[in-house]
Structure formats: structure tokens, C-alpha cells
Amino acid sequence: MREEPRSGCAINAAVEVLGDPWSLIVLRDIIFGDRRYFRELLTRNDEGIASNILASRLRRLVGYGLLTKDEAVRGQKARYTLTEAGIQTVPVLVALGAWGVEHRPTTPALAIRAQLLAEGSPELAHDLMDELREAHLGIERPEPDKPRAADRLQQAYIEVCGRESLG
């Protein structure tokens, strides 16, 4: 991995790490789909990522410090975990999702989470980040009795899927 960005520009520095579409899709699937194993990321990916591309992007995300990879002993699967830097990509994904809903063709079921995060207060994204810190870093949520953002997003997805199946 390149340690120093090509220039001192903050946007360039971020793009060098996050500018690859597959890296963002992998982060999306870990953040919003709780997919933490290679096989899950490969087989439950709507875009059809190839195994060699997935392996490359996971190595890259680990190398840049957005993920860690547990060392798997024989017979175990290696699990990927978000770092704080990886968790802090949530606002980036929220902004990309909002732009995508506004300017690109999407389907209701696959756009509902992006819509809720874009239309909701920044609090929803912050709550999701707190939940990710709890799940990936072992840091308890500041308000453990508060309804979970991930549950609200999942429920909205289920409701849209139900409406779509009714025609």
C-alpha cells in the first residue's frame, strides 16, 4: 500500500483508499449487511463480485486500516472486523447513497435504507456507527436501551419488499 498520498489534497487522499467501487461495495456489505466472512461477501453480493477481486479488495482494506482480519486456525473461517476508520466511512456511504437515489435509477427495496439515512437526521447514521462500534470493537453503545438503527433500516427494507411482492 502507498503510505503517502500522491498529494496533500484531502479528497485525493480519501479517493486513493475509497475511490475503487468494489472497496465501497465491500464496506457497504459489511456495514449494512453484517457480512464478515469471505464466503458471505462473495455469495451474498448483488453486484456479482469475482473472488479474486474480493480477495484483493479485502487485502487492500486491511492494508489501509479500514478492516482487520482475524487469524483463522485450521478449519475456521477468517472473520473481518471494521476498525474505527472503517466505521467512519458510514457518512461517506450515506452521502453516496443519497446521491444515487437522487440521480440514478434504483429499486425501492435497495434504495430504502439510503433514503432513510438521507432523509433522517444525522442521528440515525451516528446511532448506526455506535452499533458498529459495539459489534466490531466491543464498545458499548452510549444509549443501549435506544431502538437500534440497524433494526429500523432492516424493518423498512422488509416493509418495502412486502409492498413490492403485493404488486
36 secondary structure, DSSP code: -
- Looking up cell 446521491 gives 99
Tell me: pLDDT of 72 over 80. no
Long-range contacts for 64-72 (Cβ within 8 Å, ≥24 apart)? 64/1, 64/17, 66/17, 66/27, 67/30
Q: What is the model's pTM?
A: 0.90
Q: Where are any strands of DSSP class E within 22-132?
A: 67-69, 80-82
Q: Which CATH architecture fits 10-83?
A: Orthogonal Bundle (1.10)
The grid cell for 65 is 486500516
Q: Where are the domains of the chain?
A: 10-83, 89-166
Q: What is the pLDDT of residue 83?
A: 98
Q: What is the pLDDT of residue 53?
A: 96
Instruction: Give the DSSP H or E segment for 147.
Output: none
pLDDT tens-digit profile of 83-119?
999 999 999 999 999 999 999 999 998 899 999 998 8
Q: Which one-letter amino acid corresponds to residue 116?
A: L
143 secondary structure, DSSP code: S
